Structure 1
Amino acid sequence: MGTSAAANGQDQQIEVRAVTEDELPVWDRAIARGFLRPHVGDGTEYRKLIFEPGRMLAAFDHTDGGRAVATFRSFDQELTVPGGATLPVDAITAVTVNSTHRRRGLLSRMMRHDLVAARERGSAAAILIAAEYNIYGRFGFGPATRANGWRIDVQRSGGLRPDLPVPDGGRIDFVTLEEIRKIGPDLHERWRLTQPGAIGPRADYWWKLNTGEVTLPGYDWKEPFVAVHRDAGGTATGLVGYTVDDDWDGSYPNCTLTVTEFLALDRPTANALLRLVFSVDWVRRITIANRGVDDPLPLLLNDPRGAVPHEENADFMWLRLLDVPAAFGARRYAAPGRVVLEVTDPEGYAAGRWALEADADGTGRCTPTGEEPDLALGAPQFASLYLGTETASRLAAAALLREIRPGAAAAADLMLRMPIQPWNPDGF
């Protein structure tokens, strides 16, 4: 990965390039500064675990002794798309620019450098989690999944309904964090292939960081309780992790249980794990910060009004299409149909007129065409439609998509929306 230089004056003194492993302490300090966190300790041990040559970028200001003033990292992931296939994607994270170097094009240089390389590697899309809404649309990213959490007042909710099905012969046991590092990866791999929008595989360093085997200075971590559900044959079918604060109202318990991890391969297993969560002594409130948009949790309660939406509910994972035919050819479709879309994309990856077609067997394709368009939209909106999180009809109502042929937005929605809404629980 070569050096990139801006074309004007002072910025020619800022070099954007991949960092070497020896430069990880510098990169670690720069990312802490960029995320407005004090550098309370050296995080190089963890940075070495995630290091891949060419995938960590930094901007070095040679007018300031070569100080790193911006950071960027990407790594390869698979995205589960509607229908259960997986798509190779470029996962972008650790994006920072120091406040002293804003508005100098450093993010643009790093982003464009990475997207070119990602497309050359065969990534069909790029994904990221946007700290601020208005940054990434200009690079063609659009919201692709939503976080949908709940805060539950246990007493008001009346707990779980007693008629919910649970597995016959199943059992739940608490496990150590060492055990979960062995059980968790296979369970997550089986789960993510059932959930559109999920990403994986979770790397070994993910499990080490999230189970406390390694720590990253400046990030709070509290050891959770972790329980695994096994079916009658002894196979793990789900797990739940949670923490409980120690809060008392005088001599009365007033604790909040916070779910940190929840995986279930089927609805009965999920119900059994939730029964455990609702049975914990001293707990008055339960917080589950990120569930799927169509997760039925409130309806499982005796009084659904006992669950209120989490205040952080918002867009979560964003997506940018890099290879339109590969992306749309990988997913399945809910109904047959055909619409022609005219996509504006200044970066060029998704620009042009595309015929989106779906057959009765659920297969489909998106191919270049010279036909007159039915819909006109930008690359961010095109990306938001891909997994089915957003609808063309809603985008049209918001003046973010133009319907040229009446009924075309509804036709696109019929094709793209699937019974299971996309969801990704993993930050990265």
Structure 2
Amino acid sequence: MVVNAAYLIGTGGEAMILTALAAAAFDPEAATQAYLSTLNGAARAKSDAYFEGGYWLLLWGALVTVLVAWIELRFGWSAKWSGWAARVGKRRWLQPALYAFPFVLVTGLLTLPWTIYTDFLREHQYGLSNQSFAAWAGDALKALLVNLILIPPVLMGVYAVIRRSPKRWWLYGALVVSAFTLIGAVIAPVFIAPIFNSYKPMAAGPLRDQILAMAHAQHIPAENVYVFDASKQTKRISANVSGLGPTIRISLNDNLLNRTSPAEVKAVMGHEMGHYVLGHVWRGFLAITTVFLVLFLLLWWSAPRLLARYGQGWGVTEVSDPASLPLLVAIASVLFLVMTPVLNTIVRTQEAEADAFGLDAAREPDGFAAVSMKLSEYRKISPTPVEEFIFYDHPSGENRVRRSMQWKAQHLNEAP
């Protein structure tokens, strides 16, 4: 049917004509390039250098872990810690928990120079950190204390199945670690995150109401939005919908609130809600369980062979001895390095799904494109396809902007 333009104008159809003309004129690729052109020169070079340096950090981090494990084994420290745990803890099931204390403390001390460089010096070098060294050290000490609480029960569970099922401990060990991972996802928002940051209800106002309206429209059982003070530590912007059941919480950091527009905030929150609605917590749990199964199977195959060859000199002959832990950690670090593309693809796929969901939920394509450009402060905006496949656990900024503009082009005729 042909519609007469004069008839539309005469009956209040001006908006329909303008919308149709805008849809015909809008070029998503040109709009994408316009966004990308806002990052250039020194800022782009700095962003690229920071992210590309992270490629090497993966390798050097694995090598540091292997080196520290070798020191603990070669000089007999691990065997001594295990012997001490056996003397102090008369019951064998308790020994891995006792062993965890010297292991966590000494490993933390040996890796401290590397941690200071990666988490403090490098972040300041690229202008991403707001922390003094004293404040950073305070957070590092808190993290150490959290590890001293959480790691002992995990080791108790893992070494219990190693002792009781020599042939199938790879299966049960993976399930034990997966179960603790799920428990951590439940308790972290309420019991761990507040150790490092203060969480306060978002001030009443239109933006808060819009975020909650989005949540309720997606059947997310949250009655409040929390803001946490990440600005005392970093300049990065972030948000999340975390927890399960009674611990579910919608949170955004104050950097997101202070450095972005309401449209950008809504775009980010729509993305985060997508993770919840699309069941990424459970799908991620199944994916990480599969990864753990592969990891533990390779540990089960390789660790006894390495102990048979080198264990006598280390004073460690059985995988069931907690003294084998540095070896298991070293092997795991190498395997995780090799599996980097797989792990990143699992996460990146879910992030892309959440991007698409967030665009539909928030309907703020320009907001999402704009915030994607802000994330380029520490993510290379335009990687090669190989780079993105191997090193990116989120879609690249260029891809996110392009998909936002494509969504906009497809929905221009729906504009108010």
TM-score by length of 1: 0.23
Q: Which has the higher contact order (CA 8 A, sep 6+)?
A: 2
Structure with the higher fraction of residues in helix conformation: 2
Bigger radius of gyration: 2
